[in-house]
């Protein structure tokens, strides 16, 4: 249980879970292990989530990746159709909490969740961090997510995973994603998804989001 206090720390403790991957979208989740879900289904009273600005360490590639993929994250969240998605603006976040960005590992101010609830009428908050961004072949994109119930402070779902196109199973999954979700032609043989940072980033985040609790 997370407490609304200055000393709150979101210590991400990864749960390695054996994921049974079936057909359809989950076929893209090759090798994904660092995902933890506290609930099997999305709570019925969780209708709207506030997505915080995508954060990263101070690194040129990561900062460029955050700018390139922040909209992709929102688009893929909306596609899940599991909840209403609202994007938190840095200015609103700063006025309510004192900073323009927060990661899931930061110590939060006591009024953090109340400020977001008042501003956006949300039921949960998604912390999002880009942990790896290698925009040249073999490309790699890493994500760290934490979905938190603002009323109880419970971490409902968390993920910490890196997708590396130097790994054969990731290449195969990315090509399947390109054919089924990006409309890539069969004779493309997945070239674009393996050479476009934006396309590979979309594949990586969409793969993780298929592992959100069911609605």
Specify whether the CB–CB gap between 3 and 152 falls below 8 A: no
Between 210 and 29, residue with greater pLDDT: 210
Between 14 and 173, residue with greater pLDDT: 173
Alpha helices in the chain (DSSP H): 60-80, 90-97, 112-120, 168-181, 197-209
* Mean pLDDT for all residues in the chain: 85
The CATH number that domain 8-209 falls under is 3.40.50.10610
Please write the tens of the pLDDT for every residue from 113-165: 999 999 999 999 999 999 999 999 999 999 999 999 999 999 999 999 999 99
Between 32 and 103, residue with greater pLDDT: 103
In this predicted structure, what is the pLDDT of residue 30? 63
Token couple for 151 = 């009323």
Strand partners, 9: 107
d(Cα 12, Cα 154) in Å, to the nearest integer?
13
Q: Is 62 exposed, middle or buried (0-12, 13-18, 19+ CB in 10 A)?
A: buried
Quickly count: other Cβ atoms within 10 Å of residue 20's Cβ: 6
pTM comes to: 0.85
In this predicted structure, what is the pLDDT of residue 61? 95
Please write the tens of the pLDDT for every residue from 85-99: 999 999 999 999 999
What residues does each domain of the chain span? 8-209
> Would you state the torsion angle of the CA atoms of residues 58, 64, 68, 70, taken in this order, to the nearest 10 degrees?
10
């Amino acid at each position: 249980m997370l407490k609304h206090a200055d000393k709150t720390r979101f210590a991400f403790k990864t749960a390695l879970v054996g994921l049974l991957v079936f057909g359809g979208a989950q076929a893209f989740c090759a090798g994904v292990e660092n995902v933890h879900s506290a609930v099997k289904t999305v709570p019925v009273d969780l209708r709207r989530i506030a997505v915080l600005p995508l954060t990263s360490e101070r690194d040129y590639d990561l900062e460029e990746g955050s700018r390139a993929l922040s909209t992709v994250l929102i688009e893929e969240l909306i596609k899940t159709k599991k909840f209403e998605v609202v994007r938190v603006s840095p200015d609103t976040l700063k006025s309510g909490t004192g900073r323009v960005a927060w990661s899931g590992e930061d110590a939060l101010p006591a009024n953090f969740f109340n400020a977001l609830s008042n501003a956006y009428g949300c039921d949960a908050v998604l912390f999002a961090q880009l942990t790896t961004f290698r925009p040249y072949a073999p490309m790699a994109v890493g994500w760290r997510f934490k979905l938190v119930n603002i009323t109880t402070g419970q971490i409902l779902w968390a993920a910490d995973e890196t997708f590396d196109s130097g790994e054969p199973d990731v290449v195969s999954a990315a090509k399947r994603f390109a054919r089924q979700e990006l409309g890539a032609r069969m004779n493309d043989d997945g070239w674009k998804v393996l050479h476009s940072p934006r396309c590979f980033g979309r594949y990586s985040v969409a793969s993780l989001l298929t592992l959100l609790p069911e609605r």
